[in-house]
Every structure is written in C-alpha cells, then in structure tokens.
Chains A and B, each alone.
Chain A
Amino acid sequence: MRVKNTAIEWETGLAQQFDDLPQQHEAATLGMWVFLATEILMFGGLFTAFTAYRATYPHAFEVGSEHLYRWIGVGNTAVLLLSSLFVALAVHAIKHGDNRACTRDLVVAAALGVVFLGLKSIEYTLDIREGLLPWYHFHPEGANDAATKLFLVFYWFMTGLHAVHVTIGIVLLLFFAALCRRGEYDTEWHNPIEMVGLYWHFVDIVWIFLLPTLYLIKPG
C-alpha cells in the first residue's frame, strides 16, 4: 500500500462512501452524465438560437456558410471521429489490463485533438484574412449585410466554444495518460479513464452537429 488514507483506499481506488467498485462506477457515470446534460443544454441554446435566426434569414445564412472552408470542416470531423475511436480503444485496453496500450491510445487521441486545433487555426487565419471576423476588419466578399454578420458571429462563438472544450480535453487526456503510464489503473479501477472518455466523445458529438449546421447549409 503506497498511501494510507482514510477517505480513499489507494490500492483499489475505492472511496470510503461506496460499498464496492461497481457502485462507485455507477455513481461516477451518473455524475458525468449530469455534467454532460448541462453541456448539452449550453450548446443546445446556441444551436436553438442559430436555428431560429436561420429560419428568419435563410438566404443570408447560406451566403455566410459559402464563405467557410467546407473541406476543413469535413476533414476535422474525420480527425475527431478517429480520435474518439482511440479513446474508446484506450478504455477497452485498460478494461483488459493493458496499461501500455491504454497510455498509447490516449496520447494518440490527444495528438489528433492537436491536429484538429491545428486545422482550425489554419481555417481561422484564412477566415480573418478574408475579413470574416465580425470584430476586426469585417469585409466579406459579396453580400455584406447584418444577417450575414450574424451568421459569422454564430460561427465564431460556436466553433470557439467547441475549441475551448477540445483544448481542455487534450489537457485531460494527457494528464490521465500520464497517470495510466504510472500504473494507477487496472482492470478493476479505471473510472477516470472512462469519464474523460465520456467528455471527449461529447466534444466529438458537438462537432458532428456543427458540421451540417455551419458547413453543409448551401447545396453545391
């Protein structure tokens, strides 16, 4: 036993208030989903407002969407889906007691998160050069009306808030990869890996909906 602690049995990961690990696992899962429900409603508010304004200004939102780089949006979706796969593989690996595979898969998932942010930065740079940032030298080609600006405000806020989540996710993935490498988790005790996995998959789901919302509006 490494540490004697009255609150947590470090060797098994079982906290004092639980009878056993399955009960603790259930509590952690439910708590995580309560947090994710608040996240669903936070992003949901943005998606709802977007839909309401899109119904009001359908043409301006199509014009706004035409300015975006569809291939970067689609490519980034593939990157996040692949990274979600690696997180799922990491959880699978630790359940079968494979610490090395778990650590590796978490690091790969985090690296793919960095690739996502890299592509997003390139896109943001191109967007700013084309005058698509509503607060800085705003001069999009073609229609330059208030409703197109509104679309772009949504674009920056929604993708920006998502990017903040990706950044937090990368830090969490690497943190738990380090703990996993130190041998903190095993077949029995690996709640933190599963919980960070739930968070990362949620971030992936938000992007799954951002793709048709922002990038796939206008046919052709």
Chain B
Amino acid sequence: MNAVSAQSGRRSLLLIFWALMALLALTTGLAYVPMGGYEVIPAYLIAVVKAALVVLFFMEVKAASRLTWVFVGAGFVWLAMLMLLTVGDYLTRGWTPSAEELTQHNAPRMAAPAPEEH
C-alpha cells in the first residue's frame, strides 16, 4: 500500500479525534449554562453526534457494505423502540384520568338513581 494513502488515512482519524474532543469540551461547557430544565437536549444531541462519529469513522461503518448498515441499524432501531415507547408511557401518564378517577367520576351515574316517588 502506498505511503500517501496511509498518511491521509491517519490524518483523517486524527481529525475525527479532535472533533470528538471539541464536542466533549462543548458539552462540558454547556453543563454550566442553566437552560431551565432543557439541558438534557443539547447534552444528548452532542452525545449522539459523538457516537455517530465513532461508529462511522472509527468503526469504519461509513465505508462498510449495505448489509453491515442493516445489522448496525437493527441494534439502534430496537433501542429506539425500547426507549420511545417506555419514555412515551412515563411522560404521558398524567395526560388522561386514572382508572380510579374515572370510576369515582362515573360512580353516581353507574348507580341508577332511585326513581322519585310522589
């Protein structure tokens, strides 16, 4: 293999490394900025970008076959389902009345009122 491609390959790996370090500095800096409860959004976005850089370039998935992409994607798709459905459940629990509230509310209607007698 020629020395030129070896050199450029090494350089791009170093570039990815410095990008990862810059993102680490960014996410650490942002951790000191109060954002009123929304700090998690940039923190996890940066983590996803860092993970994507590692998967695509360090793990060489960018240059891998389509079939490899399917296998890589499968793991993350199942993880996304697991997280979205679970977190969706927890975050929306207060949106509808509980079974208890429903029965309490319906109780008078369910017990048929005694007909008024004259």
**A residues with CB within 8 A of B:** 26, 29-30, 33-34, 36-38, 40-41, 44-45, 47-48, 51-52, 55-56, 58, 70, 74, 77-78, 81-82, 84-85, 87-89, 91-92, 95-97, 187, 194, 197-198, 201-202, 204-205, 208-209, 211-212, 215-217, 219-220
Contact B31 A29 (CB under 8 A): no
| Given A48-B86, A201-B59, A97 contacting B1 (CB threshold 8 A) | yes
CA distance A198 to B71 in the complex (A): 14
Q: Is the CB of B78 within 8 A of A37?
A: yes
Tell me, in angstroms, the Cα distance from A78 to B10 when the chains sit together: 19
Contact of A216 (CB < 8 Å), options: B9, B28, B86: B28
The residue of chain B having its C-beta at the shortest distance from the C-beta of A212 within the complex is: B43
Across the interface, do A51 and B87 meet the contact criterion of CB distance under 8 Å?
yes
Q: Is the CB of B21 within 8 A of A78?
A: yes
* Residues in chain B within 8 A of chain A (CB atoms): 1, 6, 9-10, 13-14, 16-17, 20-21, 24, 27-28, 31-35, 37, 39-40, 43-44, 46-47, 50-51, 54-55, 57-60, 64-65, 67-68, 71-72, 74-76, 78-79, 82-83, 86-87, 90-91
Q: A26-B65, A78-B21 are in contact. Are A96 and B35 (CB under 8 A)?
A: no
| B51 CB to nearest chain A CB (Å) | 5
Residues on B with C-beta less than 8 A from A89 are 10, 13
Chain B residue nearest to A187 (CB atoms) is B1
Task: Name which residue of chain A comes closest to B1, CB basis.
Answer: A96
Question: A40 and B35: CB pair below 8 A?
Answer: no
Interface of chain A, main secondary structure: helix
Q: Tell me whether A44 and B68 are in contact (CB under 8 A).
A: no
Q: A81-B17, A209-B47, A211-B27 are in contact. Are A52 and B75 (CB under 8 A)?
A: no
Q: If A88-B13, A92-B6, A212-B44 touch, does A37 touch B83 (CB 8 Å cutoff)?
A: no
Which residues of B have CB within 8 Å of A201? 54-55, 58-59
Q: A81-B20, A198-B59, A208-B47 are in contact. Are A44 and B82 (CB under 8 A)?
A: yes
Q: List 14 A-B contacts (CB under 8 A).
A: A26-B68, A37-B74, A40-B76, A40-B78, A70-B31, A77-B24, A81-B17, A84-B58, A201-B59, A204-B54, A212-B31, A216-B31, A219-B32, A219-B33
